[in-house]
Amino acid sequence: MDVPAVHVETLDRVTVVTLERPQVRNAVDADTARRLHEAFLAFEEDPAARVAVFHGAHGHFCAGWDLQHGARAAQQGGAGELVAQLAFDPAAPRQAGPMGPTRLLLSKPVIAAVAGAAVAGGMELALWCDLRVMEEDAYFGVYCRRFGVPLIDGGTVRLPRLVGMGHAMDLILTGRKVDAAEALRIGLANRVVPRGAAREEAIALARQLAAFPQETMRADRMNAYEQWGKTLPEALRCEWERSRERMAEGLEGAARFAAGEGRHGKF
């Protein structure tokens, strides 16, 4: 019996989505992409779930798109049919990307627990996440550069926004390996942890986020995402329109602070 390539575990208010295709370093084929997309939509729709952790089993996050699967699909139906299957539809906000969830903008945060390889489309999956906890011997890289495979899961959009155009061009054009130390320095990683610790450290971080007042955190997160492309006055207006509804939650928190909770940066 085939073992499903995507597993979902619920740890109180944290959802752990695990990618498991060890024979190809967790590379993603069409069925796996569909399962990842479904898993993250289910997380989005679960009112009890607050934060997700995206994890790759057996020592690797994801080695990208399964090129052998892609080659077979192209041989069977032709490149044109494969392109049609992967086409982006701006009228479908919940559509799946080639790697699964990469065309979704969820209302709740996702943390990547990065071990081993997170390359090509696997790097794009990590970029899709809000935060990246990276093991000290893990690595990123646009490894698809050497095969002429383009970035079609948001890599050319999210990477420059995350690390700046200069760093992004270096990584996109050369396809070189980026180790954890460099990833942390340029802002590609948020935390670097010992080998084998990414999953547990990411879950600990997710529990911290899950303990905060959720509506305000989600509003601030969405305002940060949606400000791209807006003028400063428009971005400020949108921030106010979304966040004014959270003022009651903020005043309640201020009262708790006045009563002595959370002083001196204590969480």
Q: Is 260 or 125 the better-scoring residue by pLDDT? A: 125
pLDDT tens digit sequence for 39-77: 999 999 999 999 999 999 999 999 999 988 656 655 666
Residue matched to tokens 């004014």: 244
Residue matched to tokens 């979902």: 8
Measure CA 111 to chain center. 6
What pTM was estimated for this model as a whole? 0.89
Mean pLDDT, the chain, rounded, equals 90
DSSP state of 107: S
pLDDT band at 247 (very low <50, low <70, confident <90, very high): confident
pLDDT band at 20 (very low <50, low <70, confident <90, very high): very high
Strand pairing category for 178-179 and 139-141: antiparallel
Nearest to 152 by CA among 89, 226, 88, 63: 88
Residue 67 pLDDT: 83
Strand pairing category for 131-135 and 178-179: unpaired
pLDDT tens digit sequence for 140-172: 999 999 989 999 999 999 999 999 999 999 999
Question: How far is the C-alpha of 9 from the C-alpha of 55, rounded, in Å?
Answer: 11
pLDDT tens digit sequence for 179-197: 999 999 999 999 999 999 9
Strand pairing category for 117-119 and 51-56: unpaired
Convert 108-122 to b/e letters by CB count within 10 Å (16 or more is b): bbbbbbbbbbbbbbb
What the block records as the tokens of 192 is 């670097």
